[in-house]
Structure 1
Amino acid sequence: MRASLKDVAARAGVSTMTVSNVLNNKASVAPATRERVQAAVAELGYRPSLSARNLARGRSGVVALALPEISIPYFAELAGHMMVEAEKRDWTLAVEQTNYDREREMALLSGGRGHLIDGVLMFPSAVSAEDIPEGGSALPTVLFGNPAGEPVVDHVVIDNAAAGQQATAHLLESGRRRVALIGPSYEPRSRRQSPRVAGYRRALKAAGIAVERDYTEQGGLYSREDGEHAMERLLALKTPPDAVVCLSDLLAMGAMRAIQRSGRRVGDEVAVVGFDDIEDSAYLTPSLTTMRPDKAQLAELAIDALDKRLSDDTATPQVWRARCELVVRDSA
């Protein structure tokens, strides 16, 4: 049978409280006693019960990770990084797929499952900071991925406007002048304007190029199909673009397919830049130039922020920024 705390205490000749103090590395235990307890732990192969430890602290050890759509590669890769960071703290992540549904997101923020989870990590797809009460959410919460505005809860972001500007500027610096954009001007199912679009417009203005209405094709979401259909419409214009910024790698994949099916060469006749640097981007033919958010850093910042919030729920909410860089490959 698995050794218990009482078994360790009996073997070491101390109380269970003393064993607990040693396991929690408290300084109140004499060195000789600490050595006896540690020896007993080793001899019996004792392993602390994580559920008992969490119960003693009034926690479940479970944190909700809320994502709009798990099948999207960017979210799947980000969830993997979140799990790595959660394991370092002995947390279990319960993945929730919100399907861009405002009611599901609000239910998590309002603490509807508070007896089951300690906190919430959420990519807000249908709610905004304005939807969160001034006093914050009912559970310790960290939002990530979308612009924070005035922080009501802790928020981890990338500078999407700067990323959109950098992606567009890269195309302009390569000599392209008819730069189109594929992607929604407003975040799907929310009231937020896309900062990536703002960055695109900023780069064109800095280069003295007017934003052509025909060149800003809006996709419904961020899917391959949306990208393909938008690119087909752009290529049918009397003066089609010679470059396109896509607001996700999936949109870029669809756009590249439409370009190739039209008989044009991606990278030569029409340059393409994506966003997210999902794993498949490097394996396309040609490989995709894209903006790479540091997903590992984003996960580390989000988990660390929630850990701090669980320890101190009175601290002022903060915004943290993860890195984002341009990865140049063959498509642009």
Structure 2
Amino acid sequence: MKTVSNVVRDYPHVSARTRERVQRAIDELGYRPNMMGRRLATGKTGLLTLAFADVGIPYFAELARVVSRAAEARGYRVLLEETDATLDGERGILASSEAGLVDGMLFQPSVMSSTEIARHRSDLPIVLLGETAAPLTVDRVMIDNVAAAAEVTRHLIAAGRRRIGFVGHEEPALSETSRQRIMGYQSALEEAGLQPDAGLLFPSASISAADAAAAVGAALDRGASFDALVCRDDLAAIGALRALHERGLRIPEDVAVTGWDDIRLAGMMFPSLTSVAPDLDALASQALDMLFERMAGFDGMGRHRIAPHGLVLRESAP
């Protein structure tokens, strides 16, 4: 049984002759691993859950792809769960995690408090992703949103921009993600001796390109003046580009625009989009490392780790 498992998982230390014999038997029998059988034999299902707000948001779709590939390399498959960024949805994910269907969970909460997450106690190992405050007892991986927002704002200042707006944060209540990104944006302005202006904050009715376009368009129509925009995410940047084009403004000559997440479409936009790029491979690797340690029995205090990020410069803010 162990030899078959080693071949199926592509374990390197199997002789070529043994691998060929096992693979021939697999092909002849049409064998496929059985999850219930695996659970009975090993106590493990070979499945993990990745839970987040909305797979329709490009960042989450790309995160799911990276996590799935990294988990597959470790012999695991990933089930996706959407919470719709609601309290009931997030509570439901944690409650259902006790059903024994998976061995561990990566969870990016949007609205649950760290206190409520800490109160949830089950035998299922959990690692949190993202910026929402995490309990001291639970592992979490994120990028430094404050530092990244300051970095992209400094880039615009170094390019000579002085009236820099921020686009795409939620209205009326800020998420923790938006709060941290605005904090970094403001700190870079103050560091450069530029006075932060509340009139250059353009909130969006939802996290979408259409609502960001509406917010930027409304600001321009009422006479707002700016020469650069830091966008909360690439969707907001795509909306901003459309609103600027519709009003005849040149990018980047009149207004430079930056996004966040560096989704695969960012390089194909016209103009192509300068964007903050989280290192998703590193984030997934760190999160899975900690999750597998929890699954192996580690029961210490939570480890809170920072994954790297970069700034990809393109035509919208060269």
Normalised TM-score (structure 2)? 0.86
For residues 303 and 134 of structure 2, the distance between their equivalents in structure 1, rounded to whole angstroms, comes to 11
Give matches, 1:296-307, under 5 Å.
296-307=281-292
8 Å CA contact retained: 1:163, 1:324: yes
Residue 98 and residue 241 in structure 1: after superposition, are their counterparts in 2 closer, same or farther (change >3 A)?
same
Larger Rg: 1
Q: CA deviation at 1:316?
A: 2.1
- Which secondary structure state, in structure 2, belongs to the residue aligned with residue 194 of structure 1? helix
Q: CA deviation at 1:44?
A: 6.8
For residues 159 and 19 of structure 2, the distance between their equivalents in structure 1, rounded to whole angstroms, comes to 67
User: 125, 134, 159: which is aligned to 1:174?
Assistant: 159
1:146 paired with 2:126, answer no
8 Å CA contact retained: 2:98, 2:124: no
For residues 192 and 203 of structure 1, the distance between their equivalents in structure 2, rounded to whole angstroms, comes to 17
For residues 281 and 173 of structure 2, the distance between their equivalents in structure 1, rounded to whole angstroms, comes to 25
1:267 paired with 2:247, answer no
Normalised TM-score (structure 1)? 0.83
1:98 paired with 2:80, answer no
Residue in 2 that maps onto 1:220: 205
Give matches, 1:178-327, under 5 Å.
178-184=163-169, 194-327=179-312
Equivalent position amino acid for 1:330 in 2: E
Give deviations 1:246-300, integer Å, cap 9, x for gaps: 0000000000000010011011101101100001110011101110001121111
Q: CA deviation at 1:86?
A: 1.0
8 Å CA contact retained: 1:109, 1:120: no
Give deviations 1:62-110, integer Å, cap 9, x for gaps: 2111121111111111100011011112212111111112122122224
For residues 49 and 224 of structure 1, the distance between their equivalents in structure 2, rounded to whole angstroms, comes to 42
For residues 167 and 137 of structure 2, the distance between their equivalents in structure 1, rounded to whole angstroms, comes to 31
- Which secondary structure state, in structure 1, belongs to the residue aligned with residue 106 of structure 2? strand
Moved more, 273-282 or 226-235: 226-235
Q: CA deviation at 1:220?
A: 2.8
Residue 258 and residue 190 in structure 1: after superposition, are their counterparts in 2 closer, same or farther (change >3 A)?
closer
- Which secondary structure state, in structure 2, belongs to the residue aligned with residue 94 of structure 1? strand
Q: Please identify runs of 4+ aligned residues in structure 1 that moved more than 6 A.
A: 22-25, 185-189
What are the ranges of 5 or more consecutive residues in structure 2 without an aligned counterpart? 7-13
Residue in 2 that maps onto 1:29: none
1:55 paired with 2:35, answer no
User: 133, 139, 142: which is aligned to 1:157?
Assistant: 142
For residues 44 and 255 of structure 1, the distance between their equivalents in structure 2, rounded to whole angstroms, comes to 56
- For these two proteins, the number of residue pairs brought into alignment is 304
For residues 223 and 302 of structure 2, the distance between their equivalents in structure 1, rounded to whole angstroms, comes to 51
Residue 102 and residue 86 in structure 1: after superposition, are their counterparts in 2 closer, same or farther (change >3 A)?
same
Using the aligned pairs only, state the percent identity: 34
Residue in 2 that maps onto 1:31: none
8 Å CA contact retained: 1:186, 1:193: no
Moved more, 56-65 or 272-281: 56-65
For residues 271 and 23 of structure 2, the distance between their equivalents in structure 1, rounded to whole angstroms, comes to 59
Equivalent position amino acid for 2:290 in 1: A
